[in-house]
Structure 1
Amino acid sequence: MKRQFTWFIFYSFITIGLIACTQGKINLKAYEIANPVLPGDNPNPTITKIGDSYYASTTSNEWSPLFPIYKSDNLIDWKLVSYVFPGGAPDWAENNFFAPELSYDEEQQKLYVYYTSRIKSNNKLTIAVASAESPEGPFVDHGPLTFNDCETIDAFEMRDEDGNLFLIWKEVYFPGKPSVIYAQSISEDRQTVSGPKHELIRNDQEWEEAITEGPAIFRRGEYFYLLYSAGACCDKACNYKIGVARAKGLLGPWEKNPANPILKDTPYWKCPGTGDVLNEQGDYYLLYHAYETVGGDYIGREGLLAKIQWTDDDWPYLEPDENLDPTNSRINFSDKFNGALEPDWQWRATQKLSYATGDDGLMLAASTENDLLGSLLAQPVKSQDFDVTATVDLAMSGTDVQGGILLIGATNNSFGAPMAGVGISAGHDLIEVWITSANEKKIYEAVPSSDYGDLISLKMRVRNGDQLQFYVSKGKNWELIADSIDASPYVPWGMGFRWGVTSLGSQDQYVDITGVELNQVGSEQNE
């Protein structure tokens, strides 16, 4: 028998709203949802429930480990517990790892993960699938699905009114052609797509512009509902919106809501799109992504939660979210690298990473990879104002290497490579502040390393998302080395900045980084 919990609410000067959980059901009110629930770069979120726990995943783009697995007991507080591919990309896949979709088969007691990537052998985008007995892995990759030579993205699975399993997918958009979302039969082992493809919807309304994508289907009463995104998703001029269609049978005919789009820009959030719907015992929640209206370009698309409301004639709608809780993003971080590498760290999917952790800290093998940024360990930026410090032990580092900290972006604000970075690094001769873009490194400022000894502490200060200062510690004081560096030309639209550590130089040598700290401005916690 399930236990029934009653929460007692105490009042002092302020009444605190708590989540009421009765017989395992979560019933959130709008004011109880503190967004973002998944702060930082977490686009294309997907969600499922297994037992009494909720699991989510998001797009990785070009950063390994691939496809994070988050866990929550209340839909609000999420913890990173695993990755679908903790060791990096499957052998067949090149890059562009996006749009994961979690689907739990209760009969098989197996979690399937659909995802999109680019095939090495032909450079085409395709949907692939992996599976695991446990949501925390390990996952077995089953490779790409076959779709008669067309490029496919944005997978979603759904059973029709007779229990037949279908894969919902979208063909890659080409200018001048319609943007269509299809359904096609898929086998119970999720490895074979067969039979004809059935058109569900296409871009045939003015507000949708050139693209409809990101399908998420759920069922309520006599209707199937299809949430979809339309417009431009991922650059400074984004105008993404969410619409909905419904049908009494999965294969249609589908009727679009006359009130579309049902979610668009608000004062706090812009360009909402591609998400997933959770049915929590008759209450429906949408986990989707959006940018913060002010400064969101620096952070990327963050994961937001909304409770779906209903009109009298059974159309879903979403109340504009005026909530923005910055405390969700103000989580400090520190790492002495004494044990296993913290799961928050990421590296480029194409990077050959070699490192060791232990009593001496992080020994990170140097390289000239990543468009001359070197070997990188990075994390998504979660706010616009923060400080990062790191200590480099030159006595334990190679003679032909530099180690330091940086803000990672992209040349000319492009979505992917070539990469760009602004940082500070210490070598045996010089401490340098530099900007690397388009495979070219420019020294902004330099001072002799000998003035600071072998154990050199560096600081990067970020304000307003793109204004940088760099310091070196001398005794108890921080000496300003470079002031007012503008990183705005290097914001990677659609992905947000990342901060991290670098090891640049000869590939047979290592940089010793004895510790890293990130402190968010305005934070009172340190995790």
Structure 2
Amino acid sequence: MKILSIHLLLLVLVQFANAQRAVIRGDFADPSVIKVGKSYYAAATSSNWAPAYPVMKSKDLKNWKQTGSIFPDLTSWADYYYWAPELNYDNGKVYAYYTAHKKGGNLCIGVASADSPEGPFKDHGPLVCQEAGSIDGFPIRDENNKLYLIWKEDGNSIGQPTPIWIQALNEERTQLTGEKKELFRNDKPWEGNLVEGVSVIKNNGYFYAIYAAAGCCGAGCTYATGIARAKNLMGPWEKYAANPILTGQGDWICPGHGTAIMHKGKNYFMYHAYDKTSTQYTGRQALIRGFEFTPDNWLRFTDEYLSPSNKNLAYTSTDNFDKKSLNLQWSWSVFNKPEYELKNGRLALQIKDEREIFIARRIDSPNYQATVETVPGKNPLAGVALIGDEKNLIYAVAKQDSIHVTIARDGARSSLGKFPVAAADKHLFLKMDVKNNKEISFSYSLNGDDFTKLDITMPDISYLPPWDRAVRAGILAKGVQGDVAVVEGFVFKSE
């Protein structure tokens, strides 16, 4: 029996070692990656969270650290849905082709440039705005080195097919030239109502388009990855008869929308997928998998995965607000940028109107805790929150004499309880504990050590993740205009 137990343990350890793990955990959808010098840089969809498009840096494609964002402040022409940035390094310049919703219009593809992937980026505005919407821009040079832009017309948003278009782009990256041409569209059963997220590479006289199809997001996702090829960039394009070439496997489902990259002479693909356990609650996470070209000039994925060096998924992150600016873990709604001051190790949030104001961070597991140390005021309330978006959230906030737990669904807010507490002249700690994605509880402490659980009926929070994003944990304040809510610390523990 002892020998059998050892063999089982070894089997588990081998399976864990060989299992594919996310290189960037938490919500990092539609990832794009480039190499500049000896470093790799990746950016991803931020949707309705700001700053727009987080930028990550790595030396080995396995271990990543955030360096900033493409747009610390939002662009002047767009208001929301900051999707699918495509990084490109060409002739010593870095370009970011991105999708965003034009004010008063629809989805457009814009472009920004910088001398370094770490910015600052200069926005050059939109390149193409079709009536149905234009998304997923990808730059590529043809066999004669002429620059083109490939993109998807967002026909699925109005019940129409989704053509993949190509059109010449000037070298300044400020204007499309000539006429657009369709490369292919969703015409195969497995592709469902869309094809999108095209990434083009060249090999052995062929252009290869790695593309995503079917349903990208949420609990009912059906996303998968296909391949098409052409001798000339303008076509004709031939889809692989055995598509899709990448579907759900192991711990991951709905894989797609990524970028090919070379590393140590090998081909890899960075893309996103949902973890089977945490699904849409942690969002679409970044994975890297190897691929190779076949003798008959197609492409197949291998079982070589790149994974982070640290196999311990549990960690603790602390913010004492002792810097001159918010650290890079924080983001906020594109519809309600917070006004704040950092001074003497405290975060002071300025209340602008009756709306909740919040900053939040990505989660990356189904089990986690977030604790906010508040300095209770007489009127403003501050505390901890789990946030889908500004209309869907749950939070526990406190002032000097009471704690309030509130849940919001589609903008309708309901009280889950009001609890008296004597916190005048004391700090008050509010803790949120989430288990298995959906089991949530709140507790409080006056010393940071001994916590008392708040007696509320466990609410149904399965609705919280937006269709294209994950939930986030963070700090929330509310009150009336002119109030200032003060927070002195934040601790996040991921299990």
Note whether the superposition's TM-score is higher than 0.5: yes
**C-alpha deviation, 1:165, in angstroms:** 0.4
Q: Corresponding residue for 1:423?
A: 395
List aligned pairs for 1:62-141, cutoff 5 A. 62-86=48-72, 88-105=73-90, 107=91, 109-120=92-103, 122-141=104-123
| Contact 1:452–1:474 (CA under 8 A) maintained in structure 2 | no
Which of 403, 406, 414 is matched with 2:382 structurally? 403
Distance 1:441 1:367 in 2: 19
**C-alpha deviation, 1:468, in angstroms:** 0.6
**C-alpha deviation, 1:456, in angstroms:** 0.5
Amino acid at match of 1:472: Y
**C-alpha deviation, 1:432, in angstroms:** 1.3
**C-alpha deviation, 1:280, in angstroms:** 3.4
Pick which of 250-259 and 434-443 moved more. 434-443
Q: Corresponding residue for 2:451?
A: 478
**C-alpha deviation, 1:304, in angstroms:** 0.6
Which of 467, 471, 478 is matched with 1:504 structurally? 478
Distance 2:232 2:265 in 1: 20
Change beyond 3 A, Cα 1:62–1:328: farther
Change beyond 3 A, Cα 1:502–1:367: farther
Distance 1:171 1:464 in 2: 38
Structure 2 stretches of 5 or more lacking a match?
1-9, 11-15
Listed one character per residue, the Cα deviations across residues 417-437 of structure 1 (whole Å, up to 9, x for unaligned) are: x62111111013311122122
Change beyond 3 A, Cα 1:359–1:116: same
Alignment RMSD, CA only? 2.4
| Contact 1:270–1:293 (CA under 8 A) maintained in structure 2 | yes
Distance 2:418 2:259 in 1: 49
Q: Corresponding residue for 1:230?
A: 213
Q: Corresponding residue for 1:330?
A: 314
List aligned pairs for 1:150-189, cutoff 5 A. 151-174=133-156, 175-189=158-172
Amino acid at match of 2:193: A
Listed one character per residue, the Cα deviations across residues 106-133 of structure 1 (whole Å, up to 9, x for unaligned) are: x2x110101001111x321100010001
Amino acid at match of 2:75: P
Listed one character per residue, the Cα deviations across residues 354-397 of structure 1 (whole Å, up to 9, x for unaligned) are: 1111214111112456xx4x111101111111111111112xx4
Distance 2:235 2:287 in 1: 29
**C-alpha deviation, 1:493, in angstroms:** 3.1
Structure 1 stretches of 5 or more lacking a match?
1-13, 15-29, 411-417, 522-527
- Whether 1:434 aligns to 2:419 is no
Change beyond 3 A, Cα 1:426–1:260: same
| Contact 1:270–1:290 (CA under 8 A) maintained in structure 2 | yes
Distance 1:81 1:503 in 2: 27
Distance 1:154 1:352 in 2: 26
List aligned pairs for 1:14-413, cutoff 5 A. 35-86=21-72, 88-105=73-90, 107=91, 109-120=92-103, 122-146=104-128, 151-174=133-156, 175-280=158-263, 282-319=265-302, 327=311, 329-339=313-323, 340-368=325-353, 372=355, 374-394=356-376, 397=377, 399-410=378-389
SS in 1 for 2:190: helix
Pick which of 286-295 and 425-434 moved more. 425-434
| Contact 1:267–1:322 (CA under 8 A) maintained in structure 2 | no
| Contact 1:40–1:329 (CA under 8 A) maintained in structure 2 | no
Q: How many residue pairs end up in the alignment?
A: 478
| Contact 1:33–1:306 (CA under 8 A) maintained in structure 2 | no
Change beyond 3 A, Cα 1:78–1:422: same
Change beyond 3 A, Cα 1:148–1:95: closer
**C-alpha deviation, 1:328, in angstroms:** 6.7
